[in-house]
Amino acid sequence: MVKNIAVMVVYPYSWEKIIALIKESLYIDDDSHHESLLQLYQTQQFGTAIDDSTKHHLGIDGKAGGQCIRVPGHTIPLLRDG
């Protein structure tokens, strides 16, 4: 199901909270589902950069992945929980 949603994003290291608006997100209406699904290509079209490469892996440039979301004025680290 595709929906426009607002979500609370919690910075994993400082616990600071912000509200993010996500247009046409994938929504799974299932209580056993605990992950968010972001369409990387679509977010990039709206000026949001998502580096979903984990810090544990090297990119093609030989550098560790950024594991973050970047929007004007904010870099939001992503926490890999498994």
pLDDT at 80: 66
Q: Indicate whether 10 belongs to any domain.
A: yes
Q: Indicate whether 82 belongs to any domain.
A: no
pLDDT above 90: percentage of residues in the chain: 0
The helix or strand, by DSSP H or E, that contains position 77, with its residue range, turns out to be strand 74-77
Q: Indicate whether 68 belongs to any domain.
A: yes
**At residue 26, does pLDDT exceed 80?**
no
What is the chain's mean pLDDT, rounded?
Answer: 77
**At residue 57, does pLDDT exceed 80?**
yes
- Mean pLDDT of the 19-41 span: 73
- Mean pLDDT of the 19-28 span: 74
3-class state of residue 43 by DSSP: helix
Yes or no: say if 74 and 57 are a contact pair by the CB < 8 Å rule: no
Q: Indicate whether 8 belongs to any domain.
A: yes
The b/e string for 57-73 (b: 16+ C-beta within 10 A; e otherwise) is eeeeeeeebbbbbeeee
- Mean pLDDT of the 34-47 span: 72
